[in-house]
Amino acid sequence: MSNSIRTIQCRSSLTKSKLPEVDYCINPYIGCLHRCAYCYARFMKRFTGHTEDDWGYFLDIKENAACILKKELKNKKIQGTVLLGSVTDAYQPAEKKYEITRACLEILAEHDVSISILTKSNLVTRDIDLLSRFSNCEVGLTVEFSDDQFSSIFDPAASSISERIKTLEQLRANGIHTYAFMGPIMPGLTNIEQIIRLISGKVDYLMAESLNMRCGNKQEILGVIKWNFPELLESYQNGFSSDYWKMVKRSTEVLCANYGIPLKGFYDH
Ligand code: SF4
């Protein structure tokens, strides 16, 4: 299946957020070509006008996002934190060419807004020069597996896990605050201890999240599991109990304490 990519003009860049610890979001793109099998943002498709395209195969590039942001920041003072990329990845492949996220960062830096970025791409290191200009800036990398083979199955177009770990290292070496987002935890595939070992010394904290299969992603997840990990299919079909997730949360807490990594949150759906 080929990708449908187009440029569009947006009417707003900043949107109010209901996410914990985030006050505003900026999504420089609509859609996401990282195409993660479990993606929770696929509900966005119904607001995009892409009736013919599957989620993960279309991308609208908000060509004027920075220009609109500049006007928005002229009219209001931002209190709180702006997250770049809540229903897209701000550093997806098209960003290399279009630099929409970079242009937004230039504007945000002029106003020294507090920012947070969550990505699966090593492209974020291109903007270290800009990120260093913020008084409050943190960058999170999703590390839901410890094995590159698994990430190539579930997040086919994102950077590999090894590249994400190197990215954390590079950001931190340049004085940028970093965190790892271990989510979603995929039962039987996410090796929590190995992940914690990999990120140790490279992050300020860890956030974790249980797997949610109630957001239109169940068929896709089951398809990937059936094809690649048939021995896990039955357990994924049956789902995972709240007692199971309590046990996972507890063991994450213990491992984080053992490795001296603060666990800032464990989101259990
Ligand atoms: S990077 Fe995030 S928004 Fe993009 S497909 Fe993956 S989970 Fe969805």
By C-alpha distance, which of 119, 111, 94, 87 is closest to 15? 87
pLDDT at 238: 97
Return the ligand 1 atom nearest residue 55 CA: 5
* Stated length of the chain: 269
pTM: 0.96
29, 39, 45, 120: residue to mutate for ligand 1 pocket, most atoms within 8 A of CB: 39
pLDDT at 140: 98
Integer Cα distance of 231 and 50 in angstroms: 35
Candidates 3.80.30.30, 3.40.309.10, 3.30.420.40, 3.30.70.2740; CATH matching 4-267: 3.80.30.30
* Domain residue spans of the chain: 4-267
Residues with CB under 6 A from ligand 1: 32, 34-36, 39, 41, 88-89, 120, 155, 158
Judge contact between 211 and 38, C-beta under 8 A.
yes
pLDDT at 179: 98
CA 35 to centroid of ligand 1, rounded, Å: 6
Q: Give 10-residue mean pLDDT values along the chain (269 residues).
A: 92 93 96 96 85 91 98 90 97 98 98 97 98 98 98 97 98 98 98 98 98 95 98 98 98 98 95
38, 43, 118, 120: residue to mutate for ligand 1 pocket, most atoms within 8 A of CB: 120
Which residue minimizes the CA distance to atom 6 of ligand 1? 36
Return the ligand 1 atom nearest residue 87 CA: 3
Phi, psi dihedrals of residue 142, rounded to the nearest 5°: -75, 125
pLDDT at 20: 84
3, 88, 119, 160: residue to mutate for ligand 1 pocket, most atoms within 8 A of CB: 88
pLDDT at 50: 87
Q: What is the DSSP letter of 240?
A: -
∠ at Cα 120 (181, 12), nearest 5°? 95
CA 142 to centroid of ligand 1, rounded, Å: 10
